[in-house]
Each structure stands twice: as structure tokens, then as C-alpha cells.
Structure 1
């Protein structure tokens, strides 16, 4: 239980933190627990939608997937892309299925049958009890098509597109509030890729027109595809120069992976997410200052996950096919620990991150896997997401954990432990999320809770903590091999909570009033 600190002496690994409801960051926005359904691989076809499956309902929606989606606790589902949207004609996916055209999807070199479209997606969101987040095509299309889609979806009736929706069997408007103005338009891989100036101008005019159709919409401008893009920062600044007064969010996308055997850097992925968020906030606030605006632009982190992108051969090597198997990564215990840490980063920035979407939902780098000959199952990353979505309620508390550091190849010195906590003033419940990045030593966590008296520990669960199990996965043959385990290794006395955090682990401690 000892390690060398930076001064060269031997010391027990510890982490101390003080939690006080008087010092909050922001309320937890339920939209932080969103996900992503793209027409890519087997996310839609063979994922959420599979007519003929033993678990499919009369609309072809898989009930076993829906059950897991509800258990996962997602609140928002972004649709229909992703790269897919930049070449998508939304009209292809409405009306009688027999009349819908088959198209080439240039984004993923797939054949799109259009058997599943907007109305099928909206039926699915209603059964999943999630909010839709629509993306419009600003790659090959523009202002008029975006307004047409919005009119079809949200206008009550009496116009061409709203009456067409009614003829398609949907009498009431959907009232979709969240809309993405395109996707990753900075990426040269994107169909209809644009410069920051060209995209910013188009996005601003599209936003203004869409608000004339429906003033209630909330709009997301495209930020950089990732913070490794050569235009990162400059892209956001230019786009926001055009759109700042017309949008509610700017997007962030980030995927993380373990490089070789460098577990130490992988476990610090949350710090990279922190830096990315902080950089975009700084740029947005710089634009606000230039415009003499008091507006605090929100962030939409609408694509994030672990993705072993280095294993992906690239879309140009794909053969044309319907719903091909693409990037169906099988996640390990250590992946789940990192996903837990990324959720902690999002919560820590709850004052500025208003929407976040785990990409994707089913089969494609997903928490849920599905096959045609068996029930759907939970991947390892399902568990930290479901626990956080269920229990991180109320207000995120300002936590400044004090702990030692260790050196990493990709991030330099990083804290060995991390802590994020929420407090729900309505129920009095406190949820503490804690991370131990050490590969060999437990961390003794001490949390001072004197400002939150009268609590008891009602749940203590751990993912990770056993080096022999860090590469274990859940799969079709053993779908429940990895699950959170219950721990009793804690005490709560005189307002001081102590708990042992095993090596390479993510921990949730839930506390509730004694009375």
C-alpha cells in the first residue's frame, strides 16, 4: 500500500476532499446522459430495429434493446448522424416503406434501405422515453431542406410539409427542441466539408431561418471534430464569430483509446477531456468578450466514448453492403473504468456542458450489443453510465481532491485519484464518484462531510480493482461476466467518510439521510 511520491519518500496513497453544499458548480442537466443513434453499421438495422427478431414488436423495434436502453438511463438520442447526415435526404425515410428509395451512403460505404426513418425513430424515442436530438444536413444540402424538415416535424398543420406528416399518420407535431446544424464540417472526410467561414455563414443563416419556423428550437453549431484537428480553436473562433448570437451550443467530439501497453496514460483520459472542454469554453468566452455579450454559451459534447480507432481499416476499404459490421469493439473492465472517469469530467463541467451523447448506443462502439439469434446484452461500459445516470442527481459539488501524482507518457504528471460528488437537496442524497488510477496500490479516500450531517452509506459499488480481471469482457457467450461488485470497505463516523479505492478502479458511494 505504499508508493514513492515525487520527493522520493515512501508514503501511503491517499486522497482527501471536503464536500459542502454551499459550494456547488451547477445543477446536473439530465441531457448530460444522452446517446447517439446513427445510420451506421448495425446501430439501426440489427440494433434498435430488426423486424423478424424474436424480440421485435409490431413496428420492428427490438423490445430487448428497448429494455436495456431504459435501464441504461439515457435521456437524449442524437439522430441520424454523424457522418451519415451530411449526405442524407430526410424525405427518403418518410412515407410508405415500399416507396422509399435505396441509396448509397457515402459516409460509411453502405446501402441505405431507408426502411427506418424519422417517424420510426420518433416512435422508438417515445417507447424508450428519451428526447430526440435531430441533425440537419449542411453538407450536401442547406437552409431550405433544414426548414422543410423542421416544418414536417414541428409545425401543427395547414402547410405542405406538416400536412404530409399528417398523411403519413402522425397528426400531432413532434415538438423536437434540440437540433444540430450539421456534423463535423471541419473534417476533410465529411461529405460537403467546408471552411470555417463558409460553414459559419451557412450555419448562422440556417439558424435564423429555422427560428422563424419554430422559435422554440435549441441549436448546436459544429465545433472541431476533435482537439487534434490542425484548425482546433481557430475553427471555433471563426464559426462563433458568425453564429454566436444565433445558437445555444457548440459541439465537441472526442474518442479515447489505449495506445499499446500505456495503461497509465489511458487512465488519465479524463484529464484530456477536461482540457478539451476548458479550451472550447475559453474560446467561446473570448468571442463573447469581443461581442460585449454576457451570454455564456453552452457546450454539447455530443460524441464521446472509447474507440479503438487504430484498429479500424477506414471507410475507403469497406465494400458496399447493407448494415455491415463496423467497429463493434468489445469493451474491457479497464475501458469501463475510463468511461466512468469521462462521466466524472462531464459532471465537473456541468456549468457549461449542457448536452452530452455517448456514441453510439447499440453495436457500434456501444454499451449495448445485439445479435439476431439471441437477446441483447450489456457491455462493461454500460455499468458506470447506468449508475451515474441513475444516481448523479441534484447539484455537482465543487470538489478539490488532494492526492499525489504519477507520471504519464501522454499527459505528464496526473493525480493518482479523482473525486466528483453530487448533492440532491430534495432527497438529501449524496453520490460520490471516485477513481483510482494507480496500477498497483489502493488509495485511502477521506471525504469530510461535516456540512452534510446525518448521512449513512446505502450503496458502495466498485468496477475494476483486480489486475487479473482488467481485460475481462462481456460477450454473447458470457454476457454477465463483468458487473459492478458490492463493497463494505468504508466507514462514516462523525462526518468523515473513509473508503478504500482498489487499484485501477471506479467507485460509486451513495449516501442518504438516516431518518
Structure 2
């Protein structure tokens, strides 16, 4: 048993919460689009060919803004292939994922799907094999309210009114040698600046995301951000962060320190962005779009890469990156969400990568069921319970020793506040010790002028860290109420088992 003492004080408010923090990511990759969200022959398919069972799960997940269509895919994508009569659309080779893209789903179809799930669209433009001209063509097609050739084509394709896309990504992971059209920071920064200026001439209201490093482990991390922002500082609103985590060598305790890595990544990028602002004598603050994050097992059980099809040739919708997530993964995942909330003053958008079948919280079987992976629960519950403002929760607790980060707190927590009450999110990172948690509520209760009571509680924990949901057993792992949680003497009191994630709503 270890003790964890925290308190919630409204004076420790970090920021309001931009709901785009609970965003998602849909890429033309593997079975994400085809056999994932779109399966015309499925028993639940609607008139547009979209699976109704998946739509309901995505709505339950609570994603706000969804980034599309990539990802590595976008760096070779011709957006024009995805508009116009479906029967006339070309089949193309997708070099990023060694697959064939049929283009049966494109901008119009995806926008209709977003209407069904209640999410907004975030578009990425191709700055890999294409450039400024193609980007402003897409922007004109999507957003212009004028009589032009592009807007007439949009109307002919079934959309009289503009799509009104606000948020745009200027390419994807352009620091990565794997990326089609990979450039160094200087060349990319110049291209991104030219493209951003042109896009704002067409639509001054767009919010633009410039590519940061594809991970903090890249050799150019830091210098890339500085150089790119020196070129684009006045032109963009966000810089992207991407980060994925996995258990290495069976070291669960080290894996549970992943949130520390994410926090340091965010804080490093913020420092660089603010240093560029200082050199420019500007009070502008570049925000972070953490538009790819998740647990991702980059290697399969045999130690080989799992990002290329097993089939020969160029298959359509092959099974790629279909990770099965365990209880341990979900606890780490929940801690990553806590970390994003703790940095909500600068992380104003984030995209869980991805949503269906591909490193996803939702899995499907062609012609069969759809089910929730373990990571579904922390996201859906946090998205639903998170209030309007995020408040720091200082916690005094025991530590464990991380090989990379030294002494790491065993318990991590954050809270959100709204006019109706408080939501508390806590993770016990220890693999061995139960945490005896006590969170003082006196200051926040005084703000409300009344006592707080528990409205609902959720515990994600399994004695088997590697228990998972599957086609054969889709409900093996879930959440349950946190037994024994109570408000006593003005404090939230609870017992958190090792390797557990908890959410409590106090009204």
C-alpha cells in the first residue's frame, strides 16, 4: 500500500478546454475506411454504405474533430481522385502502405459520415508530392463561397454549400525519410510558409498546423521545430506533435512512465516555440496540435514490421496495424489523456490515431460484429465527463525508478470543473502497490458553496495485465464502479489497485 494525497483548488486552473483535444484521426490505411467505417454489404450498412454499428460506437467514443485523409497516405494523395462520380474514380497505388486505393470514399462521402457521427472535419494537404497550387485548389473547392469552376464542380458533386473546414494541416511528418517528398527543415519551412500565405489570401479564417517532428526521438528534433517556426511563425497557429508508446521487453513498469515522456515532449516544443517568439519580439503563442498519439506496437510478435501487407502485390484494404490492446495498454492510454489535459493551455487540439481497426479503440469483422478495445473506455469516459476548465491536482505520493526518467510519481491526477461539478481522473502507475488516495475537496466545495457528492465512478483494472477484448470475447475487459469510493470529511477517498485508471464525477 502507498499513500497519495492531493487537493483540488480552483486557483490552480490551467486553462479552459478546447474540445478539439478529444479529436480523432482517420487515414486511408489498411481496413480503416474499407471494411471499417464503410462496408456496403454489411447488415447494418446505411444508404451510403457506412456501418451503423460503427457510427454508434464512434458517437459513444465522443470524438470532436477528425483529421483526414492522412497521415503518410496524404503525401501521395490526389484529392481530385476522391470527388466526382464514384464509378469514374481512378484506382491508384498507395506507396505509403503498399496498397491499392479505390477512392470509393473521398471528401464528400467522408463529410457525410462526419455528419452522422457528429464530428468536425480537419483536412491535411499534400505537401509531399504536390504543393501550394494543389492546396489552394482544395481549399477553394472545400470552402469558397463564390461562382468558380471549383465551386461549380463541388455543386455538381452534390454540395452547394461550402464544407467550411476550419483546421488544415500543412503536410504530414515531413521530417521523416519514409515520407514521400521528404524535405529538410529549411526547405519544408519555406514551402509551408508560401502555402500558408496563399491559403490565408483565399480564406483568412483558416487555422493552420505546421509539421513538427514525427517523434521526440528523431535526430533532428528541436532543430526542426526551431527552423520550421522561424519560417512560418507569422503564418501558422499550431505546430504538430506525434508520439506513440509501447511496452518494450516486457517491462510494464517502464511502459507506465510513458506520460512523463509525453509531458517532456510537449514542454520542449512549447519552450522552442516561445524562444522563436522571443527572437521575433512577439507575444503570439504557437499552440500544439498533438494530432497523432496512441499506444502502437511497431513490431509484430515475430519481431518484423507490421506496416506492410502480408499479401503479394498491391491489395485493397489489407489487415495492417491491427493491434490488440490489453488492460495495461488502456491504463497507459488513460495516463496519456491525463497528460494532455494537464497541458491544455498549449495543447489545443489532439487526434487519437486512429479510430477503427488500425491501432484503434474500435474493431470490426467483415460482415460481423464491431467491438470496443480496452482503450475505448478511458477515451469515451474522459471525453464525456471532462468539464469546461482543467485544474491542476498536486499529488504527494510514492515513486518508482524509471530507467529513462529517474524517480516517477506512482499516482498522477488531473481534474476538470464546470458549473455542475468536478471530474477527477487518476492513474496508479505502480505495478505492485495499491494506492490509498485522498483528495481534499474543501477549496473547490467552497467555490460551489455546497458539499460535493459522487455521481458516478469508473475503474479500469484487471488482475491480468494482458487481458484483452477480441472477436471471440468482445467484453472480456471493461470498466466497473470504483468500490469503496466516497466523500468523507471533505475529501474524496478511494483505493486504487496497481495498474489502474479511475474517473470520478462529483456533483
Q: TM-score, normalised by structure 1?
A: 0.95
Deviation at 1:317, TM superposition (A): 6.9
Could you give the per-residue CA deviations for residues 291-334 of structure 1, whole angstroms, max 9, x where no partner exists? 00101110000000000002252556754211110010010011
Could you give the per-residue CA deviations for residues 330-389 of structure 1, whole angstroms, max 9, x where no partner exists? 100111101100000000000000000110000000000011121211101000000000
How far apart, CA to CA, are the structure 2 residues paired with 1:418 and 1:52? 45
Q: Following superposition of structure 1 onto structure 2, how do residues 361-510 of structure 1 map, counting pairs within 5 Å?
A: 361-424=355-418, 426-427=419-420, 429-453=421-445, 454-464=451-461, 466-467=462-463, 469-510=464-505
Q: Secondary structure at the match of 1:309?
A: coil
Aligned to 2:448: none
Quickly say closer, same or farther: Cα 1:167–1:157, change in 2 above 3 A: farther
Could you give the per-residue CA deviations for residues 220-260 of structure 1, whole angstroms, max 9, x where no partner exists? 00000000000000000000000011101000000000001
Deviation at 1:494, TM superposition (A): 3.0
How far apart, CA to CA, are the structure 2 residues paired with 1:409 and 1:485? 33
Aligned to 2:169: 180
Q: Secondary structure at the match of 1:240?
A: helix
Q: Which of 292, 295, 320 is residue 326 of structure 1 equivalent to?
A: 320
Aligned to 1:9: none
Gaps of 5+ in 2: 446-450
Aligned to 1:293: 282
How far apart, CA to CA, are the structure 1 residues paired with 2:479 and 2:404? 29
Deviation at 1:163, TM superposition (A): 1.0
Aligned to 2:252: 263
Could you give the per-residue CA deviations for residues 127-185 of structure 1, whole angstroms, max 9, x where no partner exists? 11101010000000000100000000011230111111001111110100010000000
Deviation at 1:22, TM superposition (A): 2.2
Q: Secondary structure at the match of 2:204?
A: coil
Q: Which of 352, 365, 375 is residue 346 of structure 2 equivalent to?
A: 352
How far apart, CA to CA, are the structure 2 residues paired with 1:410 and 1:377? 35
Aligned to 1:153: 142
Query: Are 1:109 and 1:315, in contact at CA under 8 Å, matched by a contact in 2?
Result: no
Please state if 1:229 is matched with 2:218. Answer: yes
Please state if 1:55 is matched with 2:44. Answer: yes
Q: Secondary structure at the match of 1:251?
A: strand
Query: Are 2:307 and 2:320, in contact at CA under 8 Å, matched by a contact in 1?
Result: no
Write out the 4+ residue segments of structure 1 that deviate beyond 6 Å after TM superposition: none
Q: Which of 254, 266, 273 is residue 284 of structure 1 equivalent to?
A: 273
How far apart, CA to CA, are the structure 2 residues paired with 1:445 and 1:480? 28
**Structure 1 range deviating more: 229-238 or 48-57:** 48-57
How far apart, CA to CA, are the structure 2 residues paired with 1:33 and 1:302? 10
Deviation at 1:41, TM superposition (A): 0.2
Q: Secondary structure at the match of 2:423?
A: strand
Query: Are 1:452 and 1:495, in contact at CA under 8 Å, matched by a contact in 2?
Result: no
Could you give the per-residue CA deviations for residues 452-491 of structure 1, whole angstroms, max 9, x where no partner exists? 2210011121111x43x22111111111111101123223
Q: Following superposition of structure 1 onto structure 2, how do residues 311-322 of structure 1 map, counting pairs within 5 Å?
A: 311=300, 313=305, 315=307, 319=312, 320-322=314-316
Q: How many residues align?
A: 497
How far apart, CA to CA, are the structure 2 residues paired with 1:239 and 1:176? 24
How far apart, CA to CA, are the structure 2 residues paired with 1:15 and 1:493? 16
Could you give the per-residue CA deviations for residues 480-513 of structure 1, whole angstroms, max 9, x where no partner exists? 111101123223123222111111100111100x
How far apart, CA to CA, are the structure 1 residues paired with 2:267 and 2:244? 17
Q: Secondary structure at the match of 2:121?
A: strand
Q: Secondary structure at the match of 2:431?
A: coil
Could you give the per-residue CA deviations for residues 24-78 of structure 1, whole angstroms, max 9, x where no partner exists? 0001110000111000000001111111111111111111100000000000110
Query: Are 2:398 and 2:410, in contact at CA under 8 Å, matched by a contact in 1?
Result: yes
Q: TM-score, normalised by structure 2?
A: 0.96
Please state if 1:136 is matched with 2:130. Answer: no
Quickly say closer, same or farther: Cα 1:316–1:126, change in 2 above 3 A: closer
Aligned to 1:86: 75
Quickly say closer, same or farther: Cα 1:56–1:139, change in 2 above 3 A: same
How far apart, CA to CA, are the structure 2 residues paired with 1:477 and 1:237? 49
Q: Following superposition of structure 1 onto structure 2, how do residues 65-84 of structure 1 map, counting pairs within 5 Å?
A: 65-84=54-73
Deviation at 1:437, TM superposition (A): 1.3
Q: Secondary structure at the match of 1:92?
A: helix
Q: Secondary structure at the match of 2:443?
A: coil
CA RMSD, Structure 1 to Structure 2 (Å): 1.1
How far apart, CA to CA, are the structure 1 residues paired with 2:105 and 2:367? 21
